[in-house]
């Protein structure tokens, strides 16, 4: 038996604190709930008052513009917050309701789910939501209507699935090396267990691979389990663009809403050191995202940008029905052949959308108004309510 404790406090706008629920919950470790079914979510949605929908998310990642965008589109908003982490949502005034939890992962607890459903909440998933709630819980246990296709989240989380979706779309990815002994040119070595991009390294031969593995282990950045899962791919020398798309399932259309490039520690610090001093300093690069820059891409590359988005959307329809739904992101490097090489995808809102909370060059061209990704999501929900087609965009 496992014991769970949860404290949930609901704060209304007038700042009165009402304790809604405080109790212990018991269930067996091996208790396994059924997979969340679309029909069940649709039945819940039927009980909702469509005139009073609340847009809710977890207080982290991209919550600020998800919530601000929802308010701009006329919705009430709610944030599920870890106690002590509410400051940005209070100070920026983006949330009408706060549901406090001891830990982010408690968003999947039954009491929180009931609170959300009582608010007619549609939850917008983001990277931290999936990470804290746990992918299996989102798939099996979280019975609250969610924007997007919840089944596609696994396709971004598992490297083989991600590669299958991208390569079956005919999109160029860095070549993958099955065996370190085959390394014949610069490669990047990635580890699933490593924190962020810490422990990633570049090498050009099997001998160098072995040396660097030992070095990373001695730094404590990776362990033997990580080594067994090492992912080796061609190093693409190019410039970084993370392209933020929105697929409107209502209109069957792919939009490009913005782009960012990553600001990564410590690689972006190392390149500020002159070559000679770099050698003497003997620093190992890491690729942990610490921020994002807004960026625009050379206009002649935009046809490739749209083509990649369109192709991925078509493949996703085949591989994981009903396919993409809402925001997705392709992270790429552009090489000197002006070829866009995709090394990663997000099948939900990506953190880099924070660079255009007030709109981007592209979203302005598209909409003629300040359109963040968060606002675009709520615009889609609003349109679906008006057209009585929420079933198309909710799972
Ligand atoms: P990832 O964890 O896959 O998002 O990679 C972290 C960072 O490593 C990226 O933001 C890029 O700067 C860099 N990177 C990833 N894959 C490659 C690659 N194949 N070639 C060159 N740089 C890469």
For the stretch 140-185, pLDDT in tens is 999 999 999 999 999 999 999 999 999 999 999 999 999 999 999 9
Q: d(Cα 392, Cα 380) in Å, to the nearest integer?
A: 11
Question: What are the start and end residues of each CATH 3.30.470.20 domain in the chain?
Answer: 156-171+238-264+291-393
> Mutation test of ligand 1: which of 171, 185, 186, 188 has the most ligand atoms closer than 8 Å to its C-beta?
188
CB burial string 52-73: b at 16+ within 10 A, e below = ebbbbbbbbbbbbbbbbbbbbb
The CATH number for 156-171+238-264+291-393, chosen from 3.30.43.10, 3.40.50.300, 3.40.50.410, 3.30.470.20, is 3.30.470.20
Residue 175 has, within 13 A of its CA and on its CB side, a CA count of 10
Which tokens in the block code for residue 200? 């990633």
**Helix, coil or strand: residue 290:** strand
CATH 3.30.1490.20 fits 176-234, yes or no: yes
Range(s) within the chain of domains with CATH label 3.40.50.20: 36-146
For atom 13 of ligand 1, the residue with the nearest CA is 287
CATH among 3.30.1360.120, 3.40.190.10, 3.40.50.20, 3.40.50.1010 for 36-146:
3.40.50.20
Ligand 1: which atom is nearest the Cα of residue 289? 10
> Per-residue pLDDT tens for 226-279?
888 899 999 999 999 999 999 999 999 999 999 999 999 999 999 999 999 998
Range(s) for CATH 3.30.1490.20 in the chain? 176-234
Residues framing ligand 1 (Cβ under 6 A): 174, 188, 190, 197, 233-236, 240, 262, 264, 287, 331, 333, 343-344
Q: Residue 197's pLDDT band (boundaries 50, 70, 90)?
A: confident
Nearest protein Cα to ligand 1, atom 9? 287
Model-level pTM? 0.89
Given a contact cutoff of 8 angstroms between Cβ atoms, the answer to whether 55 and 378 are in contact is yes
Kindly tell me if the per-residue pLDDT of 16 is higher than 70: no
For the segment 96-110, what is each residue's pLDDT rounded down to a tens digit? 999 999 999 999 999
């Amino acid at each position: 038996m496992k014991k769970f404790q949860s404290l949930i406090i609901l704060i209304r706008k007038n700042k009165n604190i009402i304790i809604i629920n405080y109790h212990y919950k018991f269930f067996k470790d091996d208790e396994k709930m059924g997979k969340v079914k679309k029909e069940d979510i649709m039945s819940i949605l039927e009980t909702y008052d469509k005139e009073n929908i609340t847009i809710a998310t977890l207080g982290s990642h991209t919550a600020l513009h998800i919530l601000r965008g929802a308010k701009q589109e006329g919705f009430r908003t709610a944030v599920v917050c870890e106690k002590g982490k509410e400051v940005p949502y209070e100070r920026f005034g983006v949330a009408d309701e706060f549901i406090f939890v001891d830990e982010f992962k408690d968003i999947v607890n039954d009491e929180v789910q009931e609170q959300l459903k009582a608010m007619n909440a549609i939850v917008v998933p983001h990277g931290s939501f999936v990470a804290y709630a746990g992918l299996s819980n989102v798939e099996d246990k979280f019975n609250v209507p969610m924007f997007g296709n919840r089944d596609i989240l696994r396709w971004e989380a598992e490297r083989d699935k991600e590669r299958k979706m991208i390569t079956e779309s005919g999109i160029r990815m860095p070549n993958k090396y099955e065996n370190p002994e085959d390394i014949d040119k610069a490669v990047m070595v990635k580890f699933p267990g490593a924190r962020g991009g810490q422990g990633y390294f570049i090498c050009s031969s099997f001998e160098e691979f072995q040396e660097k593995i030992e070095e990373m282990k001695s730094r404590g950045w990776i362990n033997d389990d990580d080594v067994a899962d090492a992912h080796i791919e061609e190093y693409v020398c190019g410039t970084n663009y993370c392209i933020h798309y929105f697929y409107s399932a209502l209109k069957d259309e792919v939009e490009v809403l913005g782009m960012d490039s990553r600001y990564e520690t410590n690689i972006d610090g190392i390149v500020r050191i002159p070559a000679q001093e770099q050698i003497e300093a003997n620093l190992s690069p890491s690729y942990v995202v610490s921020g994002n820059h807004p960026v625009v891409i050379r206009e002649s590359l935009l046809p490739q940008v749209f083509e990649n988005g369109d192709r991925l959307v078509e493949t996703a329809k085949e591989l994981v029905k009903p396919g993409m739904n809402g925001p997705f992101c392709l992270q790429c490097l552009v090489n000197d052949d002006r070829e866009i090489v995709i090394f990663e995808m997000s099948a939900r809102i990506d953190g880099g959308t924070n660079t255009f909370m007030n709109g981007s060059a592209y979203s302005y061209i598209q909409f003629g108004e300040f359109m963040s990704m968060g606002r675009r999501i709520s615009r889609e929900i609003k349109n679906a309510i008006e057209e009585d087609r929420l079933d198309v965009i909710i799972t």
